[in-house]
């Protein structure tokens, strides 16, 4: 039986296991979206802007571990995706972006642009629908590439080609050779073990690569064998939640205790972390005498940013397992960092003792309010954080149950992607309350998505760190003795805006105002906006490092 190409593409997506898609419809993709939602079992979540649509697909993929799928109109629909698409590229997110395209016969059409060149410019892979009879194969190939290359893949669907007829076939099966996870060389394992045997204070840092390899059991076994403490990159935050030896995030966002202990490590084992400036505190976190072992699947990533003592090419789980096996054979078992004194330091650490609360005069200290909110929220939660000065506060003070519970929309350091990412995360894990922490500037950039969240009925708690300005720029310009007026704006009543759109909204001026959302948190329904008027004078010390990175 023959059907139209857009119908065949929709069926192909459904048959390949796509259950959720995000996007915004126009004439170039309306038929596709209409058919896949009515006839192919694919639920569609519409945004108000294409940037947010890609951010939703990105957040969904990062939390669910599945392919993110987004579809947009041609021309400006594609160019509108670029900021979020760049974020997804930098996150190594498996994402399929399907866009309409101008007719192959069109001349000087307003919407015409070289869409492939546009998305290639930010690192996205490109596939083409070559003809009606190859459409299913082409789309299936794009899905396969996005999944196995772990990056966004873009495919254009010219509107005249979509209306052509093709056979309604099953999508082609690409033969996959079963490739076992890469194991490190015997020589590399032996050399790492020799470093560990001589170590008295080892530390293990897990990055996104360790999360993707599901390497926690192997890393915990390794840590127990050599007495290592655990830490993570920001993108892997929550990976070791529940371990008594978890120090939390490494680097610029680390707690003072974590910074001190990691600075005392004599061997640092990095698994699937890039060891970038954030994770290493611009190279100042570790002792100059520390021996650093960098394990990664990609040889080119090893030592690319931070000098290392030894590089190991291999999967995080396989490498950790091989190290444990070698240590077993040698009969090596070390106390390392795991002394009673260190354990007491970790158990006794409290953020409340690290600063003086600066709430007052109708404004709250962002640290105080987030620590109070942390106690109120259910343990099973997903926290999505937008970019901005405030971002380090929730990254430190809102706990998460695991690495899937934290979405840090900062790989491109673009303000305004957090709300979309949080909405996608909420779709991925409806069993968990989704919490989006966003600055007032970021919410104003993405305000239309507040309406989309209300329309979609996604239970969502939006916490606005409202300091009436772009806080990062205010603090930075002020430190340079420059005027800050251009980075400030009048106060916005986001609680009132939320109510006008159809959400619930509460203005918060003291921590006692959190009592007003306790009932909602216990039975979340719809969207709740908590407009926190924060003290604009509270500066995160990590901010200075951000501008050092830019220098």
Q: What is the pLDDT along the chain (551 residues), one digit of tens a residue?
A: 899 999 999 999 999 999 999 999 999 999 999 999 999 999 999 999 999 999 999 999 999 999 999 999 999 999 999 999 999 999 999 999 999 999 888 878 898 899 999 999 999 999 989 899 999 999 999 999 999 999 999 999 999 999 999 988 887 776 666 677 889 999 999 999 999 999 999 999 999 999 999 999 999 999 999 999 999 999 999 999 999 999 999 988 899 999 999 999 999 999 999 998 888 888 889 999 999 999 999 899 888 988 899 999 999 999 999 999 999 999 989 999 999 999 999 999 988 877 888 888 888 999 999 999 999 999 999 999 999 888 889 999 999 999 999 999 988 989 999 999 999 999 999 999 999 999 999 999 999 999 999 999 999 999 999 988 887 788 788 888 888 888 888 889 999 999 999 999 999 999 899 999 999 999 999 999 999 999 888 887 777 666 655 44
User: What are the b/e assignments for 243-274, b being 16+ CB within 10 Å?
Assistant: bebbbbbbbbbbbebbbebbebbbbbbbbbbb
Helices (H) then strands (E): counts for the chain: 24, 20
Q: How far apart are CA 393 and CA 375, in angstroms?
A: 15
Task: Measure the CA–CA gap between 374 and 379, rounded to whole angstroms.
Answer: 9
C-alpha 366/C-alpha 76 separation (Å) is: 38
Residue-level pLDDT at 545: 66
| 249 strand-pairing partners | 232
- Centroid of chain to Cα 169: 36
In Å, what is the CA distance from 44 to each residue of 73, 118, 164, 265, 418? 15, 25, 24, 49, 20
């Amino acid at each position: 039986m023959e059907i139209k190409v857009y119908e065949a593409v929709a069926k192909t997506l459904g048959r390949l296991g796509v259950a959720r898609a995000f996007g915004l419809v126009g004439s170039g993709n309306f038929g596709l979206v209409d058919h896949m939602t009515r006839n192919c079992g694919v639920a569609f979540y519409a945004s108000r802007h294409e940037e947010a649509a890609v951010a939703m697909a990105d957040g969904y993929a990062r939390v669910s571990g599945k392919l993110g799928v987004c579809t947009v109109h041609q021309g400006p629909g594609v160019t509108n995706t670029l900021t979020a698409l760049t974020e997804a590229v930098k996150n190594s997110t498996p994402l399929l972006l399907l866009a309409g395209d101008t007719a192959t016969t069109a001349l000087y059409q307003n919407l015409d642009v070289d869409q492939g060149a546009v998305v290639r410019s930010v690192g996205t892979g490109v596939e083409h629908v070559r003809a009606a009879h190859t459409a299913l194969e082409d789309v299936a190939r794009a899905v396969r590439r996005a999944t196995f290359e772990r990056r966004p893949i873009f495919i254009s669907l010219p509107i005249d080609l979509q209306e052509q007829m093709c056979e309604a076939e099953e999508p082609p099966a690409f033969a996959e050779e079963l490739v076992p996870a890469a194991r490190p060389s015997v020589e590399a394992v032996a050399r790492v073990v020799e470093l560990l045997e001589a170590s008295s204070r080892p530390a293990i840092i897990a990055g996104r690569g360790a999360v993707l390899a599901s390497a926690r059991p192997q890393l915990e076994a390794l840590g127990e064998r050599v007495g290592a403490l655990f830490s993570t990159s920001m993108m892997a935050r929550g990976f070791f939640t529940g371990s008594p030896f978890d120090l939390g995030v490494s680097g610029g966002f680390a707690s003072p205790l974590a910074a001190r202990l990691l600075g005392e490590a004599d061997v640092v084992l990095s698994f699937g972390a890039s060891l970038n400036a954030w994770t290493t505190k611009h190279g100042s976190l570790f002792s100059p005498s520390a021996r650093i072992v960098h394990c990664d699947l990609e040889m080119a990533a090893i030592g690319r940013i931070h000098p290392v003592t030894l590089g190991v090419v291999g999967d995080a789980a396989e490498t950790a397992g091989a190290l444990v096996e070698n240590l077993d054979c040698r009969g090596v078992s070390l106390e390392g960092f795991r002394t009673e004194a260190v354990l007491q330091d970790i158990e006794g650490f409290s953020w409340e003792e690290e600063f003086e609360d600066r709430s007052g005069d109708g404004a709250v200290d962002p640290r105080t309010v987030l620590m109070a909110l942390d106690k109120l929220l259910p343990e099973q939660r997903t926290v999505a954080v937008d970019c901005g000065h405030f971002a380090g506060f929730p990254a430190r003070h809102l706990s998460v149950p695991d690495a899937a519970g934290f979405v840090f929309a900062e790989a491109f350091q673009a303000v305004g992607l957090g709300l979309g990412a949080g909405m996608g995360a909420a779709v991925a894990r409806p069993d968990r309350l989704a919490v989006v922490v966003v600055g007032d500037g970021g919410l104003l950039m993405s305000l239309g998505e507040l309406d989309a969240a209300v329309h979609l009925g996604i239970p969502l708690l939006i916490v606005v760190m409202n300091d009436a300005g772009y806080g990062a720029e205010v603090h930075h310009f002020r430190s340079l003795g420059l005027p800050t007026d251009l980075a400030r704006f009048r106060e916005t009543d986001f609680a009132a805006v939320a109510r006008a759109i159809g959400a619930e909204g509460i203005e918060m001026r003291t921590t006692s105002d959190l009592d007003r959302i306790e009932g909602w948190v216990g039975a979340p329904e719809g969207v709740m906006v908590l407009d926190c008027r924060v003290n604009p004078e509270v500066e995160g010390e990590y901010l200075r490092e951000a501008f050092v990175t830019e220098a």
